[in-house]
Amino acid sequence: MATGAIRIGLNAKRARTAWLFLAPSLLVLFAVALWPLGRTFLFSFTDAFLTEPDIYAYIGLENYFTLFEDPLWWQSVRNTLYFTVVSVSIETALGLAIALLLNAHMSGRGFMRAVILIPWSIPVVVSARMWQWMLHDQFGILNHVLKLMGVIDHGIAWTANPDLVMPVIIAVDVWITTPFMVLLILAGLQMLPKSIYEAASIDGVSEWRQFTALTLPLLAPSIAVAVLFRLLDALRMFDLSFVLSSNSDDTKTVSIYAREVLVNFQDMGVGSAASAAIFLMIAVVTAIYVTVFRLNRKLLGV
């Protein structure tokens, strides 16, 4: 009895100490995240405008009804989901392939690891502006090279063509963000135990079988974390689309839509409702992804 009481007392003391150390971080998190988020949800139920933010009345769910009745909102949702699924899928496949190459025993591996991180180290706005000039229909290097090769006769307006602008944005995002996937997946690869591969080689297991039966299952948690981070980032994509295509409806994401309503139209109520809807959409997608991943791991017994 005495030993149990002492143990309970120690656990309680450790819990108090842990909360004491966590308190500053929790206060900062509340100040920079939870408080603004709560205010956003509050304003989403009002008729507030940026011109007079202190004068407003509560109108219930009217802003959400206005938002969901707007066809442009649903188009921005489709654009965002399409961009997210395609770009993250390509980045995951390329990231895994490049990470496997960098993890192999090859000359110049250290140099390649440094070079591959360059696109990710450049700020997104700078990269977007750089690609905007390279894709220019008159002065862009891409059109110039294609003309020299005889592929095209005249310059193509890559970011002005509705059929090309979304694939172009996805391609630029893949160029920027694939190094991030490479970095996380490569870290996971380097933590895999070498002994199981040595045993598999001794047993005569082929390299492809080792990859499918050992590498992928063991690497699944690292890939899952990398994909989750990219999902959260892609669903909030703003700067790349805004710089490359400005206010084009063909590439308008939910973040651009919320900014347009809030800043251009000064409608704080509907803009806050759009921001709250973005938060809920990201939360739902994340919850579904984590749940599916956990179920798959249980079914596979990993």
- 51 with 18, same domain: the answer is no
- 26 with 135, same domain: the answer is no
Is 236 strand, coil or helix? coil
Cα separation, 93 vs 87, whole angstroms: 10
- 113 with 249, same domain: the answer is yes
Q: What is the pLDDT of residues 51-84, one digit of tens each?
A: 887 888 999 999 999 999 999 999 999 999 999 9
**What pLDDT is recorded for position 22?**
83
- 15 with 163, same domain: the answer is no
**DSSP β-bridge partners for residue 267:** 49
Cα separation, 181 vs 143, whole angstroms: 29
Decide if pLDDT at 5 tops 80: no
| Number of separate domains in the chain | 2
Q: How far is CA 274 from CA 54, 138, 177, 262, 290, in A?
A: 20, 37, 26, 9, 24
**What pLDDT is recorded for position 161?**
85
Cα separation, 299 vs 302, whole angstroms: 8
- 8 with 51, same domain: the answer is no
- 286 with 212, same domain: the answer is yes
- 177 with 288, same domain: the answer is yes
- 285 with 144, same domain: the answer is yes
**What pLDDT is recorded for position 84?**
94
- 227 with 255, same domain: the answer is yes
- 84 with 27, same domain: the answer is no
- 23 with 54, same domain: the answer is no
Decide if pLDDT at 213 tops 90: no
Q: What is the pLDDT of residues 233-262, one digit of tens each?
A: 999 999 899 998 877 888 999 999 999 998
The token pair at 37 is 């988020």
Q: What is the pLDDT of residues 77-127, one digit of tens each?
A: 999 999 999 999 999 999 999 998 888 766 666 777 778 888 888 889 999
- 290 with 167, same domain: the answer is yes
Q: Where does the pLDDT of residue 182 fall: very low under 50, low under 70, confident under 90, or very high at 90 and above?
A: very high
- Domain span at 63: 44-300
Q: What is the pLDDT of residues 116-155, one digit of tens each?
A: 888 888 889 999 999 999 988 888 898 888 888 888 888 8
**What pLDDT is recorded for position 199?**
85
Decide if pLDDT at 49 tops 80: yes
Q: At what angle do helices 216-235 and 268-300 cross, to 10 degrees?
A: 170
Q: Where does the pLDDT of residue 198 fall: very low under 50, low under 70, confident under 90, or very high at 90 and above?
A: confident
CATH number at residue 156: 1.10.3720.10
pTM: 0.85
DSSP string, 262-298: IIIS-BHHHHHHHHHHHHHHHHHHHHHHHHHHHHHHH
